[in-house]
Structure 1
Amino acid sequence: MKKNVLIIGAGGVAQVVAHKCAQNNDVLGDINIASRTKEKCDAIIASIGEKNAMKTDGVLAGHALDAMDIEATKALIKQTNSEIVINVGTAFLNMSVMRACLDTGAAYIDTAIHEEPGKICETPPWYGNYEWKRADEAAEKGVTVILGAGFDPGVVNAYAALAKNDYFDKVTDVDIVDINAGSHGKYFATNFDPEINFREFTGVVYSWQNGQWQTNKMFEIGKTYDLPVVGPSTAYLCGHDEVHSLAKNMDGADVRFWMGFGDHYINVFTVLKSIGLLSEQPVKLADGSEVVPLKVVKACLPDPASLAPEYTGKTCIGDFVKGLKDGKEREVFIYNVADHKDAYNEVGSQGISYTAGVPPVAAAMLIASGEWDVKRMANVEELDPKPFLNILNNIGLPTRIKDENGDRALDFS
């Protein structure tokens, strides 16, 4: 049994994580939030107070921390007696924070694959370049490391595992579809850190098909899905984190990721990319100084957390899974619908942050209870999905399924 959570990061997703930890602090214990800027932690703490979110009296504190400093992170883990670390800072921090957890024995949870600032869309399987290299050490030390426990990756991995375990004898196709049918009212903005967001779409698109990695260009392949609640939506084949682990763990099934984009987003993105403003490589200015164009664009765009008050509409994210059951072909769609305004009213964040921030708290609760305290490294689809989805049903992200028997809620209790 583990307790006491250290949250790394203080952006929109961290705000959701902190609120949900507060709502479940009877299970999770002390809550500490760490960021380079302590004022951001304090703002989250204030918002928890405004919502009266703490389920029971307990520790809720903010700390200044450079999480790239492994020794400083280790010291804070020990100082706060944190046995679970939820890393929702930038993906550049993953290996440093994981190192601190491996050295201290604290369980580690993140929501995305590690990235290096000077590299994008790395050779598959991307996890194999970084996190998976520490798998043997995690097992030898008995340290629980849960990778990619957001929504996508994360919940969609659990949906794939659920389909494989309960709905098919053999899975042939997993198509993950992420549609944000909401509106933030800005001319142009990204729902996550712009630097991380753009890096997903400026390189090669990798998918796993016919037993090998297939490459495409961004926006090269699109299709329209008619989805529950949000209706017909155009999505494009993209590279994404979960493809890299599901390719290994879905027994040869084709795995693709599709994300919805409007024409306006595509036009702005194309212009920025075409003139080099989305490059992660430094360029020299006339005065001899250097800047990274992508960081300049990030500085000019709205902070994703600032979008929440005016955000309206809904998201629909899920897995279309095809395969064989009792010798017959079938298809199911396992999904969740979230509402931006509901998310803001509850935790002060928009729906994209909400869907990303609730799942790592569910994972933390399962580590606290022992069900997911596996004392090794695991991607979400390698774990029993039902306890995870059951908690999500109860804390804000209910699962539904649409198949030949209709559209209905799934109960895992």
Structure 2
Amino acid sequence: MLGLIFVLCLVSFISPSLCWWDSSWQYRVPIEINNTGNSNNLTDYQVLVTVDTATLISDGKMRSDCGDIRFVDSDDSTKLSYWIESGCNTSSTKIWVKVPSIPASSTKTIYMYYGNPNAESESNGDATFEFFDDFEDDSPYTSTNSSLIYVDTANSRLVAKLYRNSDNTYIYRSLPSAISGDFVMVARMQFASHSGTWTYSGGFGFSDSANGLRHVNGNFYGVGQDNDQDGDGTYGRSISIYDGGGTRLASLYNIEEEGVWREVSLKRAGSEVTASYEGYGTISGTTSYTGSTNYFVVSNYDDGADPDRYTEIWLDRIYVRKYTDPEPTTSVGSEQSISIEINIYSPEAKTYWTTDIEFTFNVTGGSNLTVKAFINNQTVYENENYEEGELITLGKLAKDYEQERETYCTGTCSYDDSYEDGSYAYDGNE
């Protein structure tokens, strides 16, 4: 069998030579990461990319479920982990991308590929973040009372009925790796129900011990549901942040709604801790603990007071990403597309009774191309300065075969996913 595989690399006028990552994807856009305001080299850092997928889907360039999105590093070879947070088929789709390295005080370009109707989504929160849980699996968790606090896998949520009693009720799981340094935690949460007057009940966060989130045990960074003590003479629900020793640093008051999903976040930057509750504002304070944490914990507040009163909270998903100040920004560049064509002039599409076949072709549709040709993984042609349209003749291509006579039926230049990425193929035995 006689076969040729062509690998075409595109070279822009202002950039180093770049191969098209995978020719099964028809389009890409460059994403510029701007880290010029930060003097730190960033490693495995999560950046937010906002994309208008509605237009791409409407134009027929992207799958309706955004499943063909892929991100590739600046080498145009290394795939990057990503997670679509929200908004597929909207003008502001939010996607987090984990970038292996971002240079200090500089910019970097990565690529977003799309336009492959046969691709399936590779959106993966576990691979993208320092910690991620969408509560579809309860196996990592240990609960001291599974009737009150548990992972509801059928509805992909964590349910916690938090009593202010002495029953020491909590659930925890080990983190994939310790969280150290500055970070941002983001969760979707709702207050589901309550019994009695609003009161202390508990919270969730990250601790250096499995039961270290009950205000008094262990060192932790946490967000708590607290009683509303804003001085107005009434009690209600509030969101509070605590330092590592259990001291309340600040609170957001008068959160009396139930059944509404809200985004709650907690950011640590050195000793400064900041929390926000969607629609209600932001609070901050200085923590006494700046060490690492090893567990994600949800627990009650077990001082024994008001034992019959509780608040039930639900968590829908949670992730932790790295943080730096200032954070790098991203911008989406202009769309690029594959337009390269290989034009075969000889051999003709007929049967040959010889292995001595002259091969003539040219390449059109691009400038400053590198063109390579292989037979059985052996390089038979390479030109890093190919001029568009230049005719290439490879001469008599022969190979010894066991049989004296072999039939060769030539075909036409084809686009074949079975060959390695970035390749066009011509198979002389089609």
Q: By the TM > 0.5 criterion, same fold? A: no
Sort the TM-score into its range (normalised by shorter chain). under 0.3
- Under a length normalisation based on structure 1, what TM-score does the superposition of the two structures give? 0.26
More strand by share: 2
- Under a length normalisation based on structure 2, what TM-score does the superposition of the two structures give? 0.25
**Greater radius of gyration (CA):** 2
